[in-house]
Amino acid sequence: MLSVIGRFYFITSPLLVFCISNMASVYSLCLSKQQLIGILLIIIFFSSSTAKGCYKSIISFGDSLADTGNWVILLQQNKPTPAFPPFGGTYFNRPTGRCCDGRLIVDFFAQKLGLPMVPPYFRDANCSNCRKFRKGVNFAVVGATALDNAYLARKGIINELTNVSLGVQLGLLKTLLPSLCSSSSACNEFLKNSLILMGEIGGNEFNLAFIQGISTEVIGGLVPEVIKAISAAIGELIELGAMTFVVPGTIPLGCLPVLLTRFQTPNKQAYDRYGCLIWLNDFAHYYNEYLKKELESMRRLHPRINIIYADYYQASMPLYLSPRSFGFKSTLTACCGGEGPYNVNVTLSCGDPGTKSCDDPSSYVNWDGAHFTDEAHRVISNGLLDGSCTIPRFEFPSCAS
């Protein structure tokens, strides 16, 4: 019989196996020659690397949690702090434009799948050597939002970091595709064999709104709009041929040193037992539940498409619940920053004069007040890549040679 597990088909009947290996036997009623050829073709197809999940490319959208260098490239005339030490010192031994001491989650995905680190699109936006984007391209930019800046401005939210929203990033991919594939069918095949990382994107709308004092009514109203923008982008990519999406939820916002500093209060009831702000984590839960429901609706609409919810929140929580089991000594204090209880100075960024970096970033969960360290990203990525923090459970195979 033919068993179906996920999108894979397995021949499980002993009789069928016997017939294949004993074509001249008395079991002549089992399969005709044409049927045997068809079965062999199915076996060959489903044993291919792509069918196993060894994707040929990673296409990444998002914000600072996924940016591998675009923001620094875009600001060549006035380079931001991720262009300088101590950024990048742990893994790359140099700044790469990542908001981290080392690798991001997208880097751990690339390593697991045996692909190169995903290059930033703006390193070669003129496409002088587009072939390098065949195995991956990253459109994520620090400060990017799911909604465009004009829309946010009408809500009173000002984004001065970038105007490269999710819609702009998607447009850049559409512009790039003809340089990567020779026809629409070839582009369809390219996207079908690519893993699409949809962020994290959408978090900056809320971070900016919280910090700028926007009302909770306006912030709550943004949630469906942000998720609608993410859903629409996924829909467009499906039409172009993409078949596998990883869609992250937001992280535990109430555990970020930058927000703990901004909303510090003497009211002990505002914090959970781990020192995180309850109301911010409650909001993160609310957003994630809304996103999960939307993705479930999309799965019903597109049953042949892999739409995987990446639970960044749950994958992050072990860092706070049992930090010592992972070798962390500090969970809520930034490794690199200014002063204060969380080592965060809202007027200074990591790398600015007057800031300092810890001696051992691997013992810290947080890097600069708003982003995780390389070691924290490794722990989070493990929970995603083994499927324990994805919905549906989707274990990514190791494809590294």
Alpha-carbon span 37 to 338, nearest angstrom: 68
pTM here? 0.87
Q: Which one of 371, 374, 377, 381 is the catalytic residue? A: 371
- By the 10 Å C-beta count (0-12 exposed, 13-18 middle, 19+ buried), 46 is classed as middle
Q: Which of 368, 374, 377, 381 is catalytic?
A: 368
* Per-residue pLDDT tens digits of the chain, which is 401 residues long: 444 334 333 333 333 333 333 333 333 334 454 554 444 433 333 333 343 458 999 999 999 999 999 999 999 889 999 999 999 999 999 999 999 999 999 999 999 999 999 999 999 888 888 888 999 999 999 999 999 999 999 999 999 999 999 999 999 999 999 999 999 999 999 999 999 999 999 999 999 999 999 999 999 999 999 999 999 999 999 999 999 999 999 999 999 999 999 999 999 999 999 999 999 999 999 999 999 999 999 999 999 999 999 999 999 999 999 999 999 999 999 999 998 999 999 889 999 998 999 999 999 999 999 999 999 999 999 999 999 999 999 988 788 76
The answer to whether 355 and 347 are in contact (CB under 8 A) is: no
pLDDT of residue 53: 57
3-state helix, strand, coil in the chain (%, to 5): 45, 10, 45
Q: Which of 57, 60, 64, 194 is catalytic?
A: 64
DSSP 209-244: HHHTT--HHHHHHHHHHHHHHHHHHHHHHHHHT--E
264: Cα separation from own chain's centroid? 29
Of 70, 171, 186, nearest to 134 by C-alpha is 186
Q: What is the CA radius of gyration of the chain?
A: 23
Give the phi and the psi of residue 61 in degrees, each rounded to 5.
-115, 165
**294 by DSSP, 3-state: which?**
helix
> In the annotation, is 25 catalytic?
no
Could you give the C-alpha distances from 216 to 145, 208, 234, 246, 249, in angstroms and in order?
18, 13, 28, 29, 20
| 302 belongs to the catalytic site | no
